[in-house]
Structure 1
Amino acid sequence: MGRVIKFCAISTNGDLGYALKAFSRLPHPDTFIYNTVFRGYLQLQLPKECISLYLQMLHASVTPNKFTFSPVIKACTFDNAGELGQQVHAQILKFGYRSDGFSQNSLIHMYVSFKRLEEARRVFDMMPQRDDVSWTILISGYCQSGFVDDACKLFNLMPEKNPASWNAMIAAYVQSDSFHEAFLLFDKMRRSSRFKLDKFIAASMLSACTGLGALKQGEWIHDNIKKSGIEVDPKLATTIIDMYCKCGSLEMAVKTFNELPTKGISTWNCMIGGYAMHGKGEEAVKLFEKMENESMIPPDYVTFVNLLTACAHSGLVQEGRRYFRHMVEVHNISPGMEHYGCMVDLFGRAGLLNEAMKLVNEMPMDPDVSVMGALAGACKIHGNIELGEKIGKKVIELDPHNSGRYVLLANIYATANKWEDVANVRKLMNNRGVKKSRGFSLIETDGAVSEFIAGGRSHPGSEEIYAKVKEMLACIRSIGYVPKAESVVHDITEEEEIEKALFYHSEKLAIAFGLLKTKAGETLRITKNLRVCKDCHEASKLISKFFDREIIVRDRSRFHCFKHGVCSCNDYW
C-alpha cells in the first residue's frame, strides 16, 4: 500500500485524491506514509492541508523523523503561518534534530521569508555544520531585505563561495545601484577557482553594465554567454537587448533582437522602448505594426507605454493620438496613469498646451506627479510662465521631497528673470531640508568606468582634464559657441561668472576625458543621471563637429547622438 500511495501522491502521473483514499483506509500509517503525503500536498501547493495532516500525525502519536520537518516548514512558509512555524521549530529541538541540515536550512529559509532575520541568524549560528545552502539562504535574506553590508560581511566569512552566493551578492549591489561594487565583486569571482558564468550572474552583471553604461563589459558578457552555451531564454534576451539599448548600441540591440528564434512580450516591449529612448519614433511604430501583424503575441499595457513614449520623443502627434485610441478600441486596454503621462508629454513637447490641459482635466483619475511634471516641463520649454508657475507649485505639493521638482519651478522663474521667486524656491528647499540631486556623468574607457561631477577634482587626472576642457571650449568658440546663461538658475550677470558655472558641468568633463583617452574617430559614450542642459547640448553638438567625433549621451530619459554638429533628437527633448 505504501508504494501505491507514494506513486499516486508524488508521481507526475499520479493522483493525490486516490492516494488520500488509500491513506484513509490504513489503520496505522507510519511516518514514511505521512511524509509522502506531505510532499504530495506541497507539489500541488496545498500548504494548509499539509499542516493539518501534520497535526493529525502528532495526535496519532506517530513520531516524526528528519524527513518530516522540511516539507512541514515549507508549508508554514507558503501559508505565512509564522507562529506555527515557531512551534515546529520547537518540535525539531524536542525530537533531537538540531543537527539535521535539511531541517535547519528549511528553518533559516522560513525565517528569512518572514523577514525575521535575527531568528534566521540565530538558527544559522547554532548549526554545528553549515553547507552552501545555509550560507546562501541567509546571505540572500540579508540582500533581499536591503542589509547589503551585513550580507557582505557574511559572504566574506563563507569558506567556499558557490555561484548562488556570488549571484546573491552581485544582484544585491545591482539592486541598490552600487554598480561599481558589483563589478569589483564580479572581477573577484572571475579570479576564483570555481568561476563559471551562469544565466543568473550574467543577467545581474548585464544590469550593472546598463547602470554604468559599460558597453565593452556588456559585450564581453554577451560573448561569454554565447561561448558558454547558456540558454538565452526570453528574460535573459530582454536583459541583453536592454543593455545594448541603454549603453547606446542600438544597432547591436536590433541585431540581437532579430536573431532571436522566439520573442516574448517583454522582448518586444524592450525593443520598442529602445527605439523610444533613442528618439526613433518611426522605427518604434514600424516594429509595433510588425508585432501586431506577424507575431502571435498581443501587445499589453507596457507595449503602449513604450509606443506612446516613442511618439512623444519624436513629435509624432497624429500617431500618438491614433495609438491612444487603438489601445482601447482594438486591444481593450484601459489607459492608465503612464499612458496619460505620455500623451500629456506628447502634446506638451509639441506646444499643444491647451490640448494637454484638456486631457488632464478629462482623466478618470487624479493626475499624479509624473503627469503634472510633464505639463510643467512643457510650460518651461514653451515659455508659459503663468501656467508653469501654477503647475510647478502643484508638482511640489505632490512630491515635496524631490529636489528636481523645485529645480523645475526655479528654472521656470529664471526663464522669466524672476530672480526673487528663484530665491524663494531655494529658501523653501532649504527650510524643508531638500538637497539637490548631485549630477554625475560616467564614461567607459579601456573597459573601466570613470565618474565625474560638476566642478569635481577628485579624478587623478583632473589637471589634464580641466586643461582639455579649456582647449575644447576655446575650439568651439571659434565656430560659434556662446554660453547659454539660461542653463544656470542663479541671478548671475557677469559673463565670467556665467561661464564658470557652465564650463565644468559633468558631461563636459567626461567628454574632455574621453578625448584624452581615446583614439581619433572613436565614439564617446557617456551616461548622465540628470537631463542634459541646453548649454551642454549645444556644446556637445559643436564638439562633435570640431573634433569629428560621434558623442552618444544617455541622460535621464533618452539618448542624444551628436555627430557632425547635429543631434539625433533634432533639438527636440
Structure 2
Amino acid sequence: MRALPWAWRRCMRLTQLAPCPNVPRLRATHAVFVAHGLHRHTYALSRLVLLATGSAEDDGAADGSGGDFLSYAGLLLRHAEAPPNAFIFNTLIRAYARSPHPTAALFFFQLMRQRHHHLLALSGEEEQAAAVAPDYLTFPFVLHGCSAAQCPSPGLQLHGLLCKNGLAAGDHYVQTALLRLYVTFMELVPGGAHNLFDEIPRRDVVHWDVLMNGYLRRGLPCEALQLFRRLLLSGAQPDEVALTTALAACARAGALREGRWIHCYLRDNAGELRTDDAHICAALVTMYAKCGSLDAAREVFEMAPHRCRFLWSALIGGLAVHGLAEEAVGCLRRMQEQDGLRPDGVALLGALSACAHAGKAEEGRRLLAEMEALYGVGRLEEAVELARAMPMRPLASVWGSVLAGCRAGGAVELAELAVAELEKIEEELGAGAADGAHVQLWSIYMGANRAGRKTTGRSEIELDGVVSSFVSGDGEHPLRERIYETVHHLLAGRGGLLAVEDEELCPEEGPGYLFDDMSSRSR
C-alpha cells in the first residue's frame, strides 16, 4: 500500500508541531501514521521516534512521563514494520544516554550491531533484518551513555574499536567523547585522560575545557591550573568555560596571585570575553572571596553592569565564607529592592550559612521563618522526600542544600542522612563531593550538644606563587614556628596580619610564571 502525498504532508505536519504533552497524544499520532500506511516507511518511522524522544526531553515531560515517552520510542523500533536505519538508532541511543536510564543506550547499540528480528504485521511472519552500521555520530552518544551509566568496561572496549577504524584519531566529536569518558573514570584509569589528551593531534579549546573541568571536579585544582598554563603557552584562546574553571580552581586552591593574574589577563587580552560577562563576574567574586580578598570581590560585584541571581548568590556565598551574616542578609534584601530579583535557593542558603558561620542562630531562625512564609521553604522533611523521589540520582548540590538547611534548622537526623548520601556520591565520583559535609555535621552536633572530637581538617593557602597545605597541630610543617608566631600575634590583638606587599600582576609577565612552584605543594 502506497501512501498518498496528502497523507505524507498531514503526518509530517503532526511530527513538526510542538512535542506531545502526554503519551496518549503520541499514541494518537502513531495511529494516524498507521491509518495511512506510513508505519511501513523507514523515514516515517524515524519521524515518530524523533517525536517520542523529543517529547521525553521537553519540559512538558517533567511530570515523570519522560520515561514513558522513551519506552514508547523503544517499542516503535522493536515492533517496526520498516527496516530501521542509523538515524533511528542514533536518536534512541542519544535520548537514553541523557535519560535516568543510560544503560539502555548500550542495549540499543548492541541491538544495532547484530542481526535482529522485527515483526511484519500483515503477514504475521518474523523476518531477520541486517545489522545497521554505526556512523560517526553513533559513537559519541554511546560513549556518553557509558559515562552516565558508570560502565567503564564497554567504553574502554569501544575505544579499542575506534582505534582500529581510525575515528579515535580523526574525528573531533569522538575524541571529545573519549576524553569525557576517561575524565569520568579518572581514578580507575590513572593517567588515562591526560595521556589521551596529549595524543589528540589537533586540540581545540573544548578538549582543554573537558580535562580542566575533570581535574577540578576530582579535587585537583592545581592540576587544573597547570593545564590552564599550558593552554596559554600553546597560544590558544581560552573561552568562557576555561576562564571560569581556572578561576574556580584558584578559589579552591586559595591561589590569590594567580586569580589576580587571570583577572588582569581577562581584562586586557580576552577579546570578546569581557569582565562584564555575568558568569565571569560571578567566578571572580567567588575567587576573591574564597581567597580572602573580600574588598576585591565587592568591587567586582559593584562594577558589574548586569547583576543577575547567580551573581548575587556568588557575593552572598562569599560573605557567608567570612561569617558576615548581617551583610549577607542585607544583600538578600537588596537584590529584591534594587534589582527586583526573587532570591533563589542558592542565595537563601548562602544567607543561612552566613548566619550559621557567625553563630547568629536567632537571626538564622528569623530568616528561615521569613523564607518559609514568603517562598514556602524550610520544610526539610519534604525536601528529603523530594530528593529521594527524583527519577535520577540527585547531584551532590541537592544534598548539600539539604545539609545547609539542616544546619540552620538544627535537624540532626536529616543532616546525618544528607552526609551519608554525599559520601556515596563521593565514592562514585571521587574527592570533592562531600567537601565540608562533616564539618557542617559537627557544627550541627555542637548546636544539639552531641559533638565529640572534631576530625582534623586540611587548609591550603597561596603565597608568592606557592600553594602550601597544612593541618591543625601539624608539628612537621617547615614553617610551623612562623605560623604559630603569627597566630599568637593575632590572638593577642597586637600583630594583625603580617604585611605582604603585592606587586601589580600584568599579563606582560607572560603565563610562564604561573604555578612554576606548584609542584612544591605538599599533599
Task: Return the TM-score normalized by structure 1.
Answer: 0.61
Q: 1:315 to 1:100 in 2, by over 3 A?
A: closer
Alignment of 1:493-572 (within 5 A): 504-505=479-480, 508=483, 535=488, 537-538=490-491, 542=495, 544=497, 549=500
**Residue in structure 1 matched with residue 376 of structure 2 by the alignment:** 332
* Residue 318 (structure 1) shift: 5.7
* Residue 50 (structure 1) shift: 1.8
Paired residue secondary structure (1:442): strand
Distance 2:185 2:45 in 1: 35
Is 1:115 the counterpart of 2:126? The answer is: no
* Residue 167 (structure 1) shift: 1.2
**Residue in structure 1 matched with residue 218 of structure 2 by the alignment:** 176
- Residue 72 of structure 1 aligns to which amino acid in structure 2? L
Distance 2:441 2:149 in 1: 38
Alignment of 1:224-373 (within 5 A): 224-225=265-266, 227-230=270-273, 235-314=279-358, 319-334=363-378, 336=380, 338-339=404-405, 341-342=407-408, 365=413, 368=416, 373=442
- Residue 139 of structure 1 aligns to which amino acid in structure 2? L
**Residue in structure 2 matched with residue 74 of structure 1 by the alignment:** 94
Do 2:251 and 2:286's aligned partners in 1 also have CA atoms closer than 8 Å? yes
Measured against aligned partners, the alpha-carbon deviations of 1:438-483 in whole angstroms (never above 9, x if no partner) come to x4543242xx3342558xxxxxxxxxxxxxxxxxxxxxxxxxxxxx
Is 1:56 the counterpart of 2:79? The answer is: yes
* Residue 537 (structure 1) shift: 3.6
Alignment of 1:205-216 (within 5 A): 205-216=246-257
Distance 2:105 2:319 in 1: 52
Distance 2:16 2:482 in 1: 61
Q: 1:304 to 1:504 in 2, by over 3 A?
A: same
Unaligned runs of 5+ in 2: 57-68, 116-129, 381-402, 417-437, 503-523
Is 1:374 the counterpart of 2:443? The answer is: yes
Give % identity: 19
Paired residue secondary structure (2:79): helix
**Residue in structure 2 matched with residue 47 of structure 1 by the alignment:** 70
Alignment of 1:17-32 (within 5 A): 20=30, 22-28=32-38, 29-32=40-43
Do 1:441 and 1:507's aligned partners in 2 also have CA atoms closer than 8 Å? no
Do 1:124 and 1:134's aligned partners in 2 also have CA atoms closer than 8 Å? no
| Higher RCO (C-alpha under 8 Å, 6+ residues apart) | 2
- Residue 9 of structure 1 aligns to which amino acid in structure 2? T
* Residue 140 (structure 1) shift: 0.9
Do 1:452 and 1:509's aligned partners in 2 also have CA atoms closer than 8 Å? no
Residue of 139, 147, 159 corresponding to 1:124:
159
Aligned length: 411
**Residue in structure 1 matched with residue 427 of structure 2 by the alignment:** none
* Residue 119 (structure 1) shift: 0.9
Q: Which of the two has higher C-alpha Rg? A: 1
Which range moves more in the overlay, 184-193 or 227-236? Answer: 227-236
* Residue 209 (structure 1) shift: 1.0
Do 1:199 and 1:236's aligned partners in 2 also have CA atoms closer than 8 Å? yes
* Residue 180 (structure 1) shift: 1.8
* Residue 235 (structure 1) shift: 4.9
Do 1:441 and 1:506's aligned partners in 2 also have CA atoms closer than 8 Å? no
Paired residue secondary structure (1:443): strand
Do 2:253 and 2:460's aligned partners in 1 also have CA atoms closer than 8 Å? no
Distance 1:79 1:313 in 2: 36
Distance 1:222 1:160 in 2: 28
Distance 1:35 1:536 in 2: 73
**Residue in structure 2 matched with residue 9 of structure 1 by the alignment:** 15
Distance 1:79 1:374 in 2: 34
Q: 1:488 to 1:172 in 2, by over 3 A?
A: closer
Measured against aligned partners, the alpha-carbon deviations of 1:136-182 in whole angstroms (never above 9, x if no partner) come to 11221232244363222222222222322211111111112212211
Do 1:452 and 1:510's aligned partners in 2 also have CA atoms closer than 8 Å? no
Do 1:139 and 1:168's aligned partners in 2 also have CA atoms closer than 8 Å? yes
- Residue 184 of structure 2 aligns to which amino acid in structure 1? Q
Unaligned runs of 5+ in 1: 344-359, 380-386, 397-403, 406-435, 455-486, 490-499, 512-533, 552-573
**Residue in structure 1 matched with residue 509 of structure 2 by the alignment:** none
Q: 1:79 to 1:206 in 2, by over 3 A?
A: closer
Paired residue secondary structure (2:466): strand
Distance 2:204 2:481 in 1: 39
CA-based RMSD of the aligned residues comes to 4.0
**Residue in structure 2 matched with residue 186 of structure 1 by the alignment:** 228
**Residue in structure 2 matched with residue 562 of structure 1 by the alignment:** none
Distance 2:147 2:229 in 1: 29
